[in-house]
A and B are shown apart, each in its own frame.
Chain A
Amino acid sequence: MAEIRLEQLAHSYHGTPSKPADYALRQMDHVWEQGGAYALLGPSGCGKSTLLNIISGLLVPSEGRVLYDGKSVNDLSPQQRNIAQVFQFPVVYDTMTVFDNLAFPLRNQGHSRDRIHQRVREVAEALEIEPLLSRKAHNLTADEKQKVSMGRGLVRDDVAAILFDEPLTVIDPQLKWRLRRKLKEIHQRFNVTMVYVTHDQLEASTFADKIAVMYQGQIVQFGTPRELFENPQHTFVGYFIGSPGMNLLDIVLGSAGIELEGRALPVEESIVAQLRRGGEGRLQLGIRPEFVQLVASEASTLHGQVDLVQDQGTFKIVDVRLDTPSASVIKARLGEEQLVPEGRVGLAFPAAWQRFYRDDRLVEIVP
Chain B
Amino acid sequence: MSLQLDNVTLSVRGETYIDNACLTLEPGSFNVLLGHTLAGKTTLMRLMAGLDMPDRGTVHLGGRDMTHVPVRQRNVSMVYQQFINYPTLTVFDNIASPLKQAKVSHQEIARRVEETAAMLGIQHLLGRYPQELSGGQQQRTAMARALVKDADLVLFDEPLVNLDYKLREALRVEMRKLFESRHTIAVYATTEPAEALALGGTTTLLHQGRIVQSGPSDEVYRHPCNREAASLFGEPPINLMPMTIRGEECRIAGLHQPLPDVWRSLPAGEYQVGIRPHHWSLQPLDEPAFRLPVIVRVAEISGSETFLHLSHDRIDLVAHLIGIHEFGVDQALEMQVACRQLFVFEPDGDLVLSPSSPRPTLASV
Contacts and interface: CB of A to CB of B under 8 A. Distances in A.
Contacts of A334: 363
A276 B217 CA distance: 49
Contacts of B37: 142, 172
B365 A295 contact: yes
Given A173-B193, A202-B302, A243-B169, A338 B361 contact: yes
B363 A226 contact: no
B298 A185 contact: yes
Nearest to B320: A314
Interface string A222-254: 000110111000000001111111000000000
Interface stretch (A4-12, A149-157, A257-265, A305-313): A305-313
A241 B236 contact: no
Nearest to A294: B363
B278 A314 contact: yes
A319 B362 CA distance: 17
Which among B37, B303, B360 has the highest number of chain A CB atoms within 10 Å?
B303
Nearest to A350: B364
B191 A206 contact: no
A44 B302 contact: no
A53 interface: no
A43 B303 contact: no
Q: DSSP majority for the A interface?
A: mixed
A226 B200 contact: no
Contact of B301 (A173, A206, A230, A311): A206
Contacts of B358: 336-337
B303 A241 contact: yes
A111 interface: no
Nearest to B303: A229
B359 interface: yes
Given A172-B37, A172-B191, A181-B309, A205 B197 contact: no
B302 A340 contact: no
A142 B234 CA distance: 21
A341 interface: yes
B216 to A, nearest CB: 10
A43 B166 contact: yes
B303 A205 contact: yes
Nearest to A46: B164
Nearest to B172: A310
B362 A177 contact: no
B235 to A, nearest CB: 5
Interface residues of B, number: 48
A225 B194 contact: no
B218 interface: yes
A312 B194 contact: yes
A184 interface: yes
Contacts of B198: 310, 312
A337 B193 contact: no
A225 B301 contact: yes
Which among A205, A225, A313, A338 has the highest number of chain B CB atoms within 10 Å?
A313
A244 B135 contact: no
A310 to B, nearest CB: 6
Contacts of B276: 314
Contact of B200 (A202, A243, A310): A310
Given A172-B36, A206-B307, A295-B364, A240 B301 contact: no
Contacts of B290: none
A214 to B, nearest CB: 12
A62 B183 CA distance: 55
B235 A242 contact: no
A239 B170 CA distance: 12
B302 A206 contact: yes
B197 A312 contact: yes
Contacts of B359: 337
Given A245-B166, A337-B360, A313 B301 contact: no
Nearest to A288: B304
A142 B191 CA distance: 15
A226 B303 contact: yes
Contacts of B364: 293-295, 338
A290 B304 contact: yes
B361 A313 contact: no
Contacts of A296: 365
B234 A338 contact: no
Interface in B167-192: 167, 169, 173, 191-192
B28 interface: no
A225 B320 contact: no
Contact of A199 (B36, B164, B200, B320): B164
A337 B322 CA distance: 14
A174 B135 CA distance: 26
Contact of B362 (A45, A142, A202, A339): A339
A239 B164 CA distance: 13
B165 A200 contact: yes
B134 A199 contact: no
A43 B169 CA distance: 13
Contacts of B288: none
B221 A313 contact: yes
A274 interface: no
B66 interface: no
Contacts of A239: 166
Contacts of B218: 311, 313
Nearest to B170: A244
Contacts of B237: 174, 177
B69 interface: no
A180 interface: yes
17 contacts: A206-B301, A207-B300, A225-B301, A225-B302, A225-B303, A239-B166, A240-B166, A242-B304, A295-B364, A311-B197, A311-B218, A312-B194, A312-B197, A313-B193, A313-B234, A337-B361, A338-B360
Given A229-B303, A312-B194, A313-B221, 12 more contacts: A44-B164, A177-B235, A181-B298, A184-B300, A185-B297, A199-B166, A288-B304, A296-B365, A299-B365, A313-B234, A314-B278, A314-B320
